[in-house]
Amino acid sequence: MKKLTREFYTRDAVTLARELLGKVLVHESGEGTTSGIIVETEAYAGPEDKASHTWNNRRTGRTEVVFGEGGFAYVYLVYGMHHCFNVTANIAGKPECVLVRALEPLDGQDLMKARRKTQRVLNLCSGPEKLCAAMGITRELYGEDLCGEKLYILDNTYPDLKITASPRIGIDYAEECRDYLWRFCVDGNKYVSGKQRPASNHQPLING
């Protein structure tokens, strides 16, 4: 399998979120190599998306990497202790990203279990904080080039790939944006993070 190229990442977040499904995330660390198939993502479409950290072109030290070109790691903390891993999308000046929400574990499962302190494979990477813990992804990888040698994504052909789209999770503050169908999952995959949330009655905006 070959690494994804810069061109792959320099597309809008909604397109990238769908295209990342079935690809393989790899982290080569001092502890060992871990990897997993990406089975769940969420798109965050920047200035027009009230759920995005860069809504209304909000630019801070935390979001600086998102304002660059696609294909870099945007890693941040939630609740001051759990990491989330995002892939920057689009060209420089278009601050969009994709949250990787779940992986199907592949290589390094023993290391993942030790990091997560669990023997349950189904529970290793079934959520954004879980996969970061299992994969050893921390703020030290903020800004890491995903076309590099440490943290990268491999092209992969997922057999009979079918994709479901649903509203994103945990963004009730985002007004009408909360119902955009920008959470994407590999249909039927047992490693996704949770049940789909139904949209409200009004028609959500869908790009791509």
Calculate mean pLDDT across residues 132-151: 98
Token duo for residue 115: 């990091």
Percent of the chain with pLDDT over 90: 88
For the segment(s) 6-186, the CATH number from 3.40.50.300, 3.10.300.10, 1.10.10.10, 3.30.70.80 is 3.10.300.10
Q: What is the pLDDT of residue 102?
A: 98
Q: Other C-beta atoms within 10 Å of 185: how many?
A: 23
Identify which of 23, 26, 34, 15 has the alpha carbon closest to the alpha carbon of residue 146. Answer: 26
74: phi then psi, degrees, rounded to nearest 5: -110, 105
Question: What are the structural domain ranges in the chain?
Answer: 6-186
Average predicted confidence (pLDDT) for the chain: 93
What would the pLDDT profile of 79-125 be if each residue is shown by its tens digit? 778 999 999 999 999 999 999 999 999 999 999 999 999 999 999 99
Say how many Å lie between the first and final Cα of the chain, rounded: 26
Contact 129, 84 (CB under 8 A): yes
Q: Per-residue pLDDT for 203 more than 90?
A: no
What would the pLDDT profile of 49-75 be if each residue is shown by its tens digit? 999 999 989 999 999 999 999 999 999
Q: Per-residue pLDDT for 161 more than 60?
A: yes
Q: How far, CA to CA in Å, does 122 sit from each of 113, 134, 192?
A: 11, 12, 9
Contact 34, 185 (CB under 8 A): no
